Structure 1
Amino acid sequence: MAMRTRTWEVVMLLALLVPSTLGWEYEKERGEEHEEEKGGIFLMRNSKQVMKTEGGEVRVMRGDDMRKESSGSMHIGFITMEPNTLFIPQYIDASLILFVRRGEMKIGWIYKDEMVEKNLKIGDVYRIPAGSAFYMVNTGHGQRLQIICSIDTSESLGDDIFQSFFIGGGTYPTSVLAGFDIRTLTTAFNVTVDELRSVMGRQKGGPIVYLKGSDQPGKGVTSLMQLKQRIRSSEVEFWAEDEEEKENEPKQATAWTWRKLLNSILGENRKRKGAVRSPDSYNIYDRKPDFSNNYGWSVALDENDYIPLRRSGIGVYLVNLTAGAMMAPHVNPTATEYGIILKGTGTIQVVFPNGTSAMNTKVREGDVFWVPRYFPFCQIASRSGPMEFFGFTTSARKNRPQFLVGARSILHSTSGPELAAAFDVPEERLKKVIDSQGEGVILPSWPVVDSPFIKTVDSDMVMGFD
């Protein structure tokens, strides 16, 4: 009998704290579906295909217009590259923080006027500043590369998602160099018109292309690394439609032209005494959890953990919840949060400032959600299995979420006569309810108990589980 009374008091307190959530579930039971209108307003459903080729694609989900951050709007990008493909050299008007979801890759970019290359694997986080020329290669043998990235548009030119300025290219995509007068380019490169045209007009495979010699469905191109190696060994071959064209091309002039192209475009300095030391990647899976208990764990990277985040003003996090577990209701006082479900299913609940439900909707792998700064919210894994989600925050400072329920909550810390008066209940009764939860941060699943209230409304349905 004591157990039933205690459970009833917990349920009643939850009803006081989130009445609209329970009311929303009753509406669903009556068949009044508002999933799209009310239940999913903080889900980012607008996926735009920015580019697509035989070698891969880039999709972007735009940040919601409701968000008004001084740092500008953040978008979430998804890059997919087939095995042995190259994302050709470019720079964009936005900063990127890359997270390798699957596969292996090599990224080359200009750091302090020098060309640097880094090998990245699953779990690695890496930053590319706005305006820095870069390229990416899928180096995983027979494995598709999947990258999730934040796109910070605070330095962007306009309202578009981002603007690519392709350095390499030909007819598709067109290199930004092609916009200059032909005499300007021949003078700048110190080459003939024919030599310049033989380089500038050949690429037509798109922004993501297969490397030469791979088993691609279309025609491939020579990789940038191969070109550099051949230049160093004076064994440069040119892209040609057939062997006859290769034989007719001046090999020495071609090698010289490519050396000038690489030196001019990628900043390669063959006379430098030592290679510049660029920032390393940070593997989030190698980090010891900041919090862990029997119900899950969480990791958060800030500017003190990974210095490049300080320059971007963006934080990174990763959370894993066991089946049925809940990230306790909490609020981020310093940042807006973006999340991507990496695996599993569950529920995201968000609350408006006036205490009404802003969102209470189920999510699955691939879904993207965002929660505005100050809005209370929680994430709940379904009973069918664990849920893992990764994301970004709009602050690189140490994130100190304020938990509203649980052993480490604001309610627990402020428990006293003032809080009891606010709820208009005896202090002892309030304390009994608040102290009932012995866990903090990540909470166990909703218990299956015998209660008149639970019989009326199924516990899974009340808490948003499957």
Structure 2
Amino acid sequence: MAVKVRFSLAVLVFSLLALCVGIAKANKDPELKVCEHQCKEQLGYDEREVEKCLGDCTKEHFRRKEERERETRGTEEEDDHEWRSFTVDPAKKKLGQCLEECQRQGGGEQKSLCRLRCQDKYEREPGREEEGNMKEKEEEGNPYVFEDRHLKSEVETEHGRVRVLEKFTKKSKLLRGLENIRVAIIEANPQTFIAPTHLDAVFVLFVAKGRGAITLIHEKDKQTFNLERGDVFRVPAGTTFYMVNKDENEKLRVAKILWPVNLPGNFKAFHGAGGEDAQSFFRAFSWELLEAALKTDRGRLERIFKQQQGGIVKASKEQIQALGHGEEGGHGGGGLWPFPTGGSSGPFNIFDKGPVKRNNYGQLFEAKPKDSEQLRDLDLIVSLANITRGSMAGPYYNSKATMISIVLEGEGYFEMACPRDSSSGSSMGYIESEGSRRGKGGQTYQRTSSRLSRSSVFIVPAGHPVATVASENSNLEVLCFEVYAKGNVRYPLAGKWNVIGEMDREAKELAYGVPAKEVDQIFGKQQEEFFFPGPRRQRREGRAYA
């Protein structure tokens, strides 16, 4: 009898274990399933690489799960803290602390600007404390904003560095449309050499600052092109290139957008020379193989490939002059491989056409796919907005293009209208604006915003209304790589030719529930186009809104 009982108990335990395993499999995270499937289907992977890929999928799954659990615990702790301190006005308390920090700052103008920021952040009507708490977390939880800390140095020496922005999808699934796109920034001191490299990615570069030269080697050809501020240039995947900063005083600063050709969203740099910050790929081969391929003994090979020069090194004036005699971009006939004759002969400059929008409040320059063969098959627009201090660009939205925006110079902030996730009801760290409270049904929106400074990157998806505002202290210069741009239209929501102003009178009355004349008085009052005085500039100049 005892034997039967033990046997039955063992069967029961085994059944429960099998049931748990079955439930776990049934409830497996969909993203984990997709990741595992991609590992198994990846061409060129052997069995060991597939196993490693599956392991990476599992690690990433548990990492994200732990992050979600930490966020849940954090929310519970905040709720508990709020209950304990419900008699205290947290906004006023934080305003006082913020103003105290301002007092410790030097300079009258800096101190005044600090006070204004504090008041904007914490002075609210009663019952709006929650909005203040949301704004405090906005930059940390904002899936559309990347700061300097999100740029990782891949090459760094005392003479410069190459930094790569983390994958967009690492921060949010909302950005999975950009999964196969990466961004990098090169900074090189005056009179320096950036060592030969090739990438498993196509990339387009934009010269944000300085002047230099780039040399490309393709099969039996070698071409060198001079670079200056505003130049746009495409480099095909796998092409060996090297660069120099020709200027004796100014840094060379280059922004790049890349499309990896091997694994989605992942690219690698292959350094032929190597150095203290990156090893030469030649050292991955056996000495026997290199001796045979190069017909050179191991001693001499070791001497070359074990040198520790570094990826960015100082060069003499004579070396810079020899390396920097290139062709000027945007001139001459004949096509640059792999482009056909009649295309661009090299870099083209975004300033050559002049601004497409211009007034006292800013300038907008752009290069569209139709303007250059180099951009056409990449479906890319490159634009540069220079917003006068205290002014703003927009609000407007793009019909098709998603903007990857990089702040080159200055400070400011941006605001964007984002659809609220109706399925989860989550505001995802955004600031909920007035009028966005959920009613009985229909789409609602929330405002997402963030302060901007040099090297900030922010994403504006297609269809999302956005406005960018420069600080009172300096102009704000923003470079935009606009992807999926074929057939894109930029629709203004204020100023001349705004969408609402172009509607039929009956459409205005039916849509807004007031006479069309009243709608026209609101949307027809601003006579500028695209760039306008910013909120504080309007108040300072005493503009009347009546």
Measure how far apart 1:112 and its partner are. Answer: 5.7
The reply on whether 1:67 has 2:175 as its aligned counterpart is yes
Measure how far apart 1:336 and its partner are. Answer: 1.0
Code of the aligned partner of 2:400: T
Q: Distance in 2 between matches of 1:324 and 1:169?
A: 46
Q: Deviations over 1:305-329 (max 9, x none)?
A: 1221124332210112223322221
Matched with 2:241 is: 134
The reply on whether 1:78 has 2:185 as its aligned counterpart is yes
Which of 197, 204, 217 is 1:110 aligned to? Answer: 217
The reply on whether 1:395 has 2:461 as its aligned counterpart is no
Measure how far apart 1:280 and its partner are. Answer: 1.2
Matched with 1:410 is: 499
Secondary structure at the aligned position of 1:312 is classed as coil
The reply on whether 1:92 has 2:199 as its aligned counterpart is yes
Q: Is the 8 A contact 2:197 2:241 kept in 1?
A: yes
Matched with 1:208 is: 312
Secondary structure at the aligned position of 1:418 is classed as helix
Q: Distance in 2 between matches of 1:173 and 1:366?
A: 24
Measure how far apart 1:129 and its partner are. Answer: 2.0
Which of 363, 382, 396 is 1:330 aligned to? Answer: 396
Matched with 1:358 is: 447
Which of 339, 346, 354 is 1:288 aligned to? Answer: 354
Give the number of the structure with larger relative contact order, counting CA–CA contacts within 8 Å between residues 6 or more apart.
1
The reply on whether 1:38 has 2:148 as its aligned counterpart is no
Secondary structure at the aligned position of 2:152 is classed as strand
Q: Is the 8 A contact 1:95 1:312 kept in 2?
A: no
Q: Is the 8 A contact 2:404 2:458 kept in 1?
A: yes
Q: Is the 8 A contact 1:101 1:146 kept in 2?
A: yes
Code of the aligned partner of 1:414: M
RMSD: 3.4
Code of the aligned partner of 2:132: E
Secondary structure at the aligned position of 1:285 is classed as coil
Secondary structure at the aligned position of 1:414 is classed as coil
Between the aligned residues of both structures, percent identity stands at 26
Secondary structure at the aligned position of 2:229 is classed as coil
Matched with 2:527 is: 438
Code of the aligned partner of 2:383: Y
Structure 1 length normalisation: TM-score? 0.71
Q: Distance in 2 between matches of 1:196 and 1:450?
A: 73
- After superposition, residues 238-249 of structure 1 pair within 5 angstroms as none
Q: Distance in 2 between matches of 1:145 and 1:102?
A: 6
Q: Distance in 2 between matches of 1:409 and 1:324?
A: 22
Q: Deviations over 1:152-174 (max 9, x none)?
A: 33x243654x3111122367633
Q: Distance in 1 between matches of 2:518 and 2:489?
A: 29
Measure how far apart 1:224 and its partner are. Answer: 10
The reply on whether 1:157 has 2:291 as its aligned counterpart is no
Q: Is the 8 A contact 2:165 2:183 kept in 1?
A: yes
Secondary structure at the aligned position of 2:527 is classed as coil
Q: Distance in 1 between matches of 2:543 and 2:533?
A: 18
Q: Is the 8 A contact 2:168 2:179 kept in 1?
A: no
- CA change 1:183–1:383 in 2 (3 A) is closer
- CA change 1:382–1:198 in 2 (3 A) is closer
Q: Is the 8 A contact 1:102 1:146 kept in 2?
A: yes
Code of the aligned partner of 2:354: K
Q: Is the 8 A contact 1:302 1:399 kept in 2?
A: no
Q: Deviations over 1:169-211 (max 9, x none)?
A: 367633222223333322322333344333333x213222233
Q: Distance in 2 between matches of 1:444 and 1:172?
A: 47
Q: Distance in 1 between matches of 2:138 and 2:504?
A: 33
Matched with 1:253 is: none
Structure 1 residues without counterparts, runs of 5 or longer = 1-21, 215-221, 230-274, 455-466
Q: Is the 8 A contact 1:62 1:74 kept in 2?
A: no
Q: Distance in 2 between matches of 1:36 and 1:23?
A: 8
- CA change 1:156–1:409 in 2 (3 A) is farther
Q: Distance in 1 between matches of 2:363 and 2:234?
A: 25
User: For this pair of structures, how many residues does the alignment match?
Assistant: 375
Q: Distance in 1 between matches of 2:158 and 2:212?
A: 18
Secondary structure at the aligned position of 1:421 is classed as helix
Secondary structure at the aligned position of 1:131 is classed as coil
- CA change 1:44–1:170 in 2 (3 A) is closer
- CA change 1:310–1:47 in 2 (3 A) is same
Q: Distance in 2 between matches of 1:296 and 1:37?
A: 31
Structure 2 residues without counterparts, runs of 5 or longer = 1-119, 326-333, 338-344, 420-442
- After superposition, residues 179-190 of structure 1 pair within 5 angstroms as 179-190=284-295
Measure how far apart 1:335 and its partner are. Answer: 1.4
Q: Distance in 1 between matches of 2:407 and 2:209?
A: 14
- CA change 1:142–1:405 in 2 (3 A) is closer
Q: Is the 8 A contact 1:173 1:204 kept in 2?
A: no
Secondary structure at the aligned position of 2:351 is classed as helix
Q: Deviations over 1:22-52 (max 9, x none)?
A: 9998479858243353354422122222221
Code of the aligned partner of 1:370: I
Code of the aligned partner of 1:60: V
Secondary structure at the aligned position of 1:286 is classed as coil
Secondary structure at the aligned position of 1:32 is classed as helix
Matched with 1:349 is: 415
> If each structure's helix is expressed as a fraction of its own residues, which one has the higher value?
2
Q: Distance in 2 between matches of 1:369 and 1:312?
A: 21
Code of the aligned partner of 2:138: K
Secondary structure at the aligned position of 1:412 is classed as coil
- CA change 1:157–1:56 in 2 (3 A) is same
Q: Is the 8 A contact 2:244 2:320 kept in 1?
A: no
Q: Distance in 1 between matches of 2:532 and 2:320?
A: 50
- CA change 1:285–1:355 in 2 (3 A) is farther
